[in-house]
Structure 1
Amino acid sequence: MELKGAVLLMCVLAVSANSTVDKEATDNIAAVETVNPTSVVSTVDSVSTEASVTLDNVTSNQSPSMSVVSKQRENKLYNLIVARKFDEAVENTISLYGAGWSNIIKQVIERLCDEGNSIVFDYSYKISISKAPYIARSCFPMAIRIHERMVFAKLINKRDGYALTYNNHVDFDGDRRVLGDPNTESRMDIGWWFVPHWTGDRLYYQMRPLRMAMFLKLGNSRDGDGDHTAYVSDDYSTNRHLWTIQPVKHNGELLFYIINREFDKLLKFGLSPVYDGYRIAYGHSTKDLNPHKFSWYIKTA
C-alpha cells in the first residue's frame, strides 16, 4: 500500500509540472502574439531614420573639395574686378598670391580675355601700381602690361601683317600721317610707348612713337567712306588722343582691338597700299568687331 501510494504521488507531481510548463509556454506565446506589429516596424524605422540623419549630417559637414574652393575664390575675385572694386580686388589678389593660389589669378585673367573684357587692362594697371607689382609680372601676359615704363610694343595688324608707323613728313597742321609698314622687323620707328591715363574709374592709353614725343589720334573730319584718318601730333589733350584696348580670342590667338575714345572707332589700315607700299591708318566708319579685319598683335619688348 505504501509503495502504491508513493507511485501515485509521483504521477500527480509529474502532471502538475507539465501543466505549469505548458501554461508558461502558452503565456509566452500569447505575450508575443499580443505585441503590436506596428510598434515593431516603428522601432525599426526609428533606427533607420536615425542612421540616415547621421549620414546626412556627416555629408553636409564634410569640407568642400579643393576644386569647389578654387572656383569660389575665382568667382569672388572676378566679381570684384567686373564691379570695378579695384581696391578690394587688389587686396584679394595679394592674399591669393601669398597663399599660393596664383593659378586662380591667372584663371581670372584668362576668363576676362576669353570674354573680350578690356577691364583686364585696368586690373593689370592697378596691380602694377600697388604694393605688390611683382604679381603683375608673375601672372599677366606682357601684352597686358604695356603700361609699364620699360615695356614698348609693335602693333601688327592681323589681316595685313603690317606694323603701325608714321610718315616722316609733317603736314600743314604739324601732324604726321600714321601708316602701315610691311617691314615688321625690330626697328625704332615701329615701336610705341603706351602711356597710361587713368580717368574716372578706367584706364586709357596715349600712344607715342619711341623716336618722338608725338601721340596717336584720329582726325576730326570723315572721308567719303566715313573713316577718320589717323595721325600723330604734338598735342595729347583731347579724347581723340585716348585709346582703349580690348582683348579678343581668335583661332586660339590672343589679339586686341584698339578703339578711339572720342569716336569709338577701331584702328585699321586701308586696303590699298600707297606711299611706296605703305598703307594709311584710319578709324573705321563703324564699330565692327571682326577680329580677322580689325584686330592687332601686340608684340612687346
Structure 2
Amino acid sequence: MHSISAWKLARRPNYITNKDKTYPYSEVPYLGEYNLVKIPLSLNNLIEHVDYWGEGRITTSAGISGFSDCYNVNHVFQLVSNGADRDRKIPNRIPVVNYTNCDTSSYIKDNSVKTVTIMGAPINTSCAKDIARIVNSDLGQVIAYGFERDSQYSKNLINELNKKAIFHCPKYTLPAGLRGLTLFDSELALLNLTAVKDHLYNNISAGSYDVALELTKNMNNDTGSQAIGEVVNKLILNAKANVIAYAYKLWNSEDSQIIGNSFPAAFSLIFKGDAVTITNMEYQQALKLNSDVDSHNDRFASGDRADKTSKNVSWKFVPMWVNDNVVFKICNMESNMYLKLDAETDSLGDRKALGSSNDNETNHQYFVEPLMKDETLVFHLINCEHHQALKMDVNVDSNGDRLLWGHNGDPRGQNNTLNWVIYDNTKVWEKGIIEI
C-alpha cells in the first residue's frame, strides 16, 4: 500500500548507480495540471529513454531489471521495490496519480521520446494510451519485456501503437543498450515505420519468410499497408529475387489479399493463374507456340509480330514450391503445352524453347524474377534445369516472327531481350475465346 508519509521519509534516490537527470519534479508529489516545465524543452532534442513503471537499475539474485540512464514513470508514492535500493525514492521519477490513471501529459510532451520500455507491470488501456502519446512516431520504439504476444496487455499496447504506425517486429535483435535484463526471458519490440520497413526488407532478402509474413500481417492495416507496397517496390528496384517467393508465401496464407493491395498487378495475375500475354520488351512481340509439331510432338516457341490477344498468345503460370523456392510452369492456353528448353544447343550454346505436352521435368520449371527496366516492371524467365533465361532471336523469319531461345549467358544480365512484360489478356476473356 502506498503511503505519502512513507514516501516523504524515504531516502533520496541512488544517483551513484543511476545517472541524475536533475529533473525538478522527481522528488515532488504529483502536481496535476499545474504550470510545469515539460520535457523535452525543445522537440529538436528528443528524450532518449523513458522506462514506464521503472524504478532504476535493480540487481537481485533473481536477475537484473531496469535502466540506470533514463526517466522512470511510476506511481507518485512508489518506492524502489527490490535490490540494494529497496524503499528508497525512485531515481528520475515522473509521477502518475495511480495505476489506472496514467497521464504524464503535464510532464512529458507529445511525440517526444525515442525509446519507451516497460517490464512485467500491467499495461491497461490508460497506460497503453500514454505510452503511445509520448513515443515519437518517426524515430521511436517501444520494448515490452516479459509479455506474451497474445496477452491482453500486449494487445492493449499494440492497438494503440498501431494507430501511430508503430508495429510489432518479430525476431528483432535489440540494441546493445536494451539487452541484459536477465529477469525477463522474452520481449516484444514495436518499431517506427522506417525501422519496420527495414526489418521487413532484410528478412525477405535473407529468405526469412515466416518472420516476414508475421510482420506483414502486423502491418496490414490503414497505417501500414502502403508501407508494405513500398518495401515490395524497393525489393523489385534492387532486383531481389526473393520478393517472388515472399509473394508466393503470402498468396498461400490467410492474408492473400495483400498481394492485390500492395503488389504490382502482374503478381496477382501470375499467382491466380489468369490468362496473360507475355511480351518481349525489346521487340514488343508476344510469346506463342507455332502450329506445326516436330518428331517429338513438340512445338517451337516464338514471338508473334502482330497478335497480342488470341488464345495462342495466352499463357498461365502454375506456381510450385520446390527446394525452398517458388518455381513456375508456363502453360500455353491454346495447346495446353508447357515451355521447356531443347536438350541440344546451337553453336552459341543457346537452346531453342519448345512447347511440350508433358510437364513433369525440371526442364519445365522456371524462376520468375521481377525487376524494373526504364520504369517498367519486367520479368526474367529462367529455366531451372539449364539456368538459361528466355530471350528472342535478333533475326526474324519470313512472317516477321522471332524464335524463342534459352540464353547461354548471364540469366540476370543486362541483355534487353531477356526482359518480359506480363499483363492481363482481358480482350481474350471479353470475347469469350478462352474458357476458364
Fold in common (TM above 0.5) = yes
**What is the CA distance between 1:237 and its match in structure 2?**
1.6
The answer to whether 1:113 aligns with 2:236 is yes
Higher relative contact order by CA 8 Å / sep ≥ 6: 1 or 2?
Answer: 1
Query: Is residue 294 of structure 1 aligned with residue 282 of structure 2?
Result: no
Whether 2:401 is the aligned partner of 1:278: answer yes
Partner of 1:25: none
TM-score normalised to structure 1 length? 0.78
1:132 aligns with 2:132: no
- What letter matches 1:63 in structure 2? V
Is 1:63 the counterpart of 2:134? The answer is no
Residue 344 of structure 2 aligns to a residue in which SS? strand
Q: CA deviation at 1:252?
A: 1.6
* Percent pairwise identity: 25
Distance 1:67 1:297 in 2: 37
Residue correspondences, number? 253
State which drifts further: 286-295 or 68-77: 286-295
Q: Which of 219, 225, 237 is the equivalent residue of 1:102?
A: 225
TM (normalized to structure 2)? Answer: 0.54
Paired residues for 1:238-277 under 5 Å: 238-274=361-397, 276-277=399-400
- Pair 1:182 & 2:170 matched: no
Find the counterpart in structure 2 of residue 154 from structure 1. Answer: 277
**8 Å contact from structure 2 (residues 273, 318) kept in 1:** no
**Counterpart code for 1:271:** V
Amino acid at match of 1:254: L
Deviations 1:201-225 (A, max 9, x none): 1100000011232100001110112
**Relative to structure 1, is the Cα distance of residues 256 and 150 closer, same or farther in structure 2, using a 3 angstrom cutoff?**
closer
Q: Name the SS of the counterpart of 1:92 in structure 2.
A: helix
Quote the residue 1:123 is aligned against.
Answer: 246
Measured after TM superposition, the shift of residue 260 of structure 1 is: 0.9
Aligned equivalents of 1:238 and 1:131: distance in 2? 30
Match of 2:352 in 1: 229
Q: Tell me, which stretches of 5 or more residues in structure 1 are unaligned?
A: 1-48
Hey, what does 2:149 align to over in structure 1?
A: none
Contact 1:74 1:108 in 2 (8 A): yes
Output one character per residue of 1:152-190: Cα deviation in whole Å (capped at 9) or x when no partner. Answer: 211111111111001111110110000110114311110
CA RMSD across the alignment: 2.4
User: How big is the shift at 1:50?
Assistant: 4.4
Contact 1:215-1:233 within 8 A present in 2 as well: yes
Q: Report which of the two has the higher share of helix.
A: 1
Deviation at 1:300, TM superposition (A): 2.3
Structure label with greater radius of gyration: 1
Do the aligned partners of 1:176 and 1:233 also contact (CA within 8 Å) in 2? Answer: yes
Gaps of 5+ in 2: 1-20, 24-38, 50-111, 115-135, 140-191, 426-436
